[in-house]
Amino acid sequence: MFKKILIANRAEIALRVVKSCKEMNIACVTIYTDIEKDYPHASAGDESICLGDGPLSDTYLNQDRLIALAKELGVDAIHPGYGLLSENPSFAQKLATNNITLIGPSAENMLLMGDKIASKAEMERIGVPTIPGYHGANQDSAFLLEQAKKVGLPVMIKASAGGGGKGMRIVKSFDEFSEALTSAKSEALKSFSDENVLIERYIETPRHIEVQVMSDSHGNHLHFFERECSIQRRHQKIIEESPSPALDSDLRSRICASAVMITKSINYQGAGTVEYILDENGAFFFLEMNTRLQVEHPITEMVTGVDLVRQQIEVAAGGKLNLTQNEISQRGHALEVRIYAEDPDNNFMPSIGTIWDVTSSSLNGVRFDNGFVAGNEVTINFDPMLSKLIVWDSNRENAISKMNICLDEVAYLGFKTNREYLKRVLSSKPFKAGNITTNFIRDYEKELVKVELSEEAIAKGIATYLYTKRFSGGSEVKQVHSKKQTPWSYLNNFRNI
């Protein structure tokens, strides 16, 4: 087993990996930048190294620097988390050359799955269904328009190297095609240094279903069932759940078997996620495979009871998976919401500010994967995702209800987040009924508008504000929430003076 792991990531995911390292008695190193000095991950490792200031390319994305650091500190494996260098084949290659283990798949696996064109071709070869489209190398505008006409409207233009909705456009009339193509290419070039795009049929009521997989280096390929991640804004997931309400047991076993067939065919190693689009007729199409740990992995951990990070580390160290497929089952229902620093009532624009306080939940079966503490600045330098709130309960209805209660308890105070908006989605009729698609946020825009508070509720808010202000004592930040911090004590102090 590894002696020391470097976690090449930040915020909540760095803290998540630290937890498994601790439980496995493996030393770990976290890294951070100047502006993150007060963030929890900056002191979470057995050793924590400051990378100074500068753009990401000088810090978290500086491959040579991270490798030099790993050598200097006697690190034998690197956990890349998600995003950043997690799906970078050249980094995987460099680590291999330097005899440092990457806790992730081979560079070859990454290279194949990171290329949307090559991965779809491979899927076609092994018989996994894909969405009709053109995934070729000819990038001539007139040729692409011709291909779009073959695929049929509506058509989607997507960056070949893309992800997270960057470099993606939907075209509903061929008149819009050329403008959309130009802007998709320019965004692709900026985000991925690669302006190649692919063209695909756009499915009108798609559901996003993904399968968690894990493979060791001894030819064992397992799946940990599905997650449904259909609730998305700006093509990024905001609510995920497992199991999916869209799958019956037959469809579930077929889609999971398809994912395992892929990992077997490409001789995959480590944790991965195969993403599918499910259409209104129950047909599923391969979308892409993420060759890393996924943001929403906790819901799978909640329903299967398996620590996926621990499994990742075990198999990266050459171990055999200590589970068989029959031993893995879904128990109850888990939901995850992503809490973003953003304003859902202003087109989900990112918000910034100082975190005055972060409150916690009083309920059972709640996991809060959070990367921030009171006093931290939320800036535009990093992704606006602050944390993930995960709940587990015996069934979907109870899990939804629990999450709604939880979202009233767990709040970042000091600036706008999507917290209350998530409640609107969870409380809506179509969500409760399980009638969700990746267009949900757009389709139900009108139902998801903010309900104005009554005058009395506003007065209560004002009274609370005045009360907090009056009795917040000498401490910098005071929160009227947990028992030990109740302003009653301050009220008493006040009287005694």
Partner 1 sequence: MKLLVNGSEKDVFVSEWSEQGVKLAVDGVTYSFTTQELSKMVSGISTDKKKGHVLVHGQDLFIEPLSKKNCGGALEAGAMISPMPGKIFKVIKVAGQEVKKGETILIMEAMKMEHPVKASRDGKILEIIFNEGQQVDGGVELVSLKPAGKE
What are the distances in angstroms from CA 13 to CA 16, 60, 354, 385?
5, 14, 21, 11
- Binding-site string for partner 1 from residue 290 to residue 329, where x marks contact by CB under 8 A and - marks none: ----------------------------------------
Buried b (16+ CB within 10 A) or exposed e, 105-118: bbbebbbbbbbbbe
Binding mask 163-192 for partner 1 (x = CB under 8 A): ---x----------------x--xx--xx-
Which one of residues 101, 147, 361, 479 is an interface residue with partner 1 (CB under 8 A)? 479
Residues 225-264 that bind partner 1 (CB under 8 A): 234
DSSP 8-state code for residue 367 = E
Q: How far is the CB of 351 from partner 1 (least distance, A)?
A: 8
Q: Which is nearer to partner 1, 104 or 487 (CB)?
A: 487
Report, in Å, the least distance between residue 476 CB and partner 1: 5
Q: Confirm or reject binding of residue 477 to partner 1 (CB under 8 A).
A: yes
C-beta separation of 388 from 369 below 8 A: yes
Among 129, 350, 365, 434, binds partner 1 (CB under 8 A): 350
Question: Considering the rule CB under 8 A, would residue 383 count as an interface residue with partner 1?
Answer: yes
Size of the site for partner 1 (CB under 8 A): 63
Two tokens, residue 109: 């696996």
Structure tokens at 354: 């100082």
Residue with tokens 């997507």: 158
Catalytic residue among 292, 338, 367, 424: 292
Cβ burial of 475 (10 Å; 0-12, 13-18, 19+) is: exposed
Q: In the numeric block, which tokens belong to residue 472?
A: 């917040």
| Collapsed DSSP state (helix, strand, coil) of residue 322 | coil
Among 401, 447, 442, 440, which residue's Cα sits nearest to residue 246? 440
Count Cα neighbours of 144 within 13 Å in the Cβ-side half-sphere: 25
- Considering only 411, 434, 435, 439, the residue that binds partner 1 (CB under 8 A) is 411
Tell me whether residue 162 or residue 298 sits nearer to partner 1 (CB atom). Answer: 162
Q: In angstroms, rounded to a whole number, what is the distance separating the alpha carbons of residues 289 and 112?
A: 9
Residue 458 as a binder of partner 1 (CB under 8 A): the answer is yes
- 201 in catalytic set: no
Residues with catalytic annotation? 292
Can you give the binding site for partner 1, defined by CB under 8 A? 166, 183, 186-187, 190-191, 234, 346-347, 349-352, 354, 356-357, 359, 380, 383-384, 407-409, 411, 413-417, 419-420, 423, 450-451, 453, 455-470, 472, 476-481, 486-488, 491, 495
